[in-house]
Amino acid sequence: MTTITVTAIKAAQRLDSRGNPTVQVEVETQEGRFRAAVPSGASKGAYEAIELRDGDKNAFGGKGVLNAVRNVNEVLGPAIIEKAFDLRQGLKPLDSFMVKLDGSRDKSRLGANAILGVSMACARACAAAQVS
């Protein structure tokens, strides 16, 4: 059985169904490309992980996610590619690695939206790796 690893990760800012910016992540492996867009809830709980928003009132009323996109492209992506996780082994090691890389209690350093986007795209890649 061959190892299936992430060979490329890229993120972009997209608009969700309510017209708000959201993070879209595309992960590439030997099995193909897998994409996920991060949903954003309309309400926020006191104990929720923190979405990283840009805060620039001139761009989407401060709701832009370019900093989270940058964190995927410049921090999470390169670290995950370097670590060469075998996606046939599942998502738990990769998710634990991202949480540790963030280092905050509420995922506010890299952004829960950046981490979740990578996790969701990798979950699809993991599923494809299990089928092949």
For residues 57, 58, 64, 68, the Cα torsion angle rounded to the nearest 10 degrees is: -90
CA distance 117 to 91: 13
Kindly state whether residue 1 falls inside one of the protein's structural domains: no
Question: Quick one: tokens of 24?
Answer: 């879209």
Question: Quick one: tokens of 6?
Answer: 């992430």
Kindly state whether residue 119 falls inside one of the protein's structural domains: yes
Kindly state whether residue 15 falls inside one of the protein's structural domains: yes
Kindly state whether residue 95 falls inside one of the protein's structural domains: yes
pTM: 0.94
Kindly state whether residue 28 falls inside one of the protein's structural domains: yes
CA distance 107 to 11: 18
Range list of H helices, the chain: 66-71, 77-83, 92-102, 112-131
Give phi and psi for 12, each to the nearest 5.
-150, 160
Kindly state whether residue 109 falls inside one of the protein's structural domains: yes
Is the per-residue pLDDT at 30 higher than 70?
Answer: yes
Task: Tell me if 88 sits within 8 A of 100, measured CB to CB.
Answer: no
Q: What's the confidence (pLDDT) of residue 100?
A: 98
3-class SS at 7? strand
What CATH number is associated with residue 22? 3.30.390.10
Task: Tell me if 7 sits within 8 A of 26, measured CB to CB.
Answer: no
- Find the distance separating the first CA and the last CA of the chain, reported in whole Å: 10
Domain count, the chain: 1
- Banded model confidence at residue 42, pLDDT cuts 50, 70, 90: low
Kindly state whether residue 72 falls inside one of the protein's structural domains: yes
Q: What's the confidence (pLDDT) of residue 29?
A: 97
Kindly state whether residue 87 falls inside one of the protein's structural domains: yes
Q: What pLDDT digit, counting tens, does each position of 72-113 carry? A: 999 999 999 999 999 999 999 999 999 999 999 999 999 999
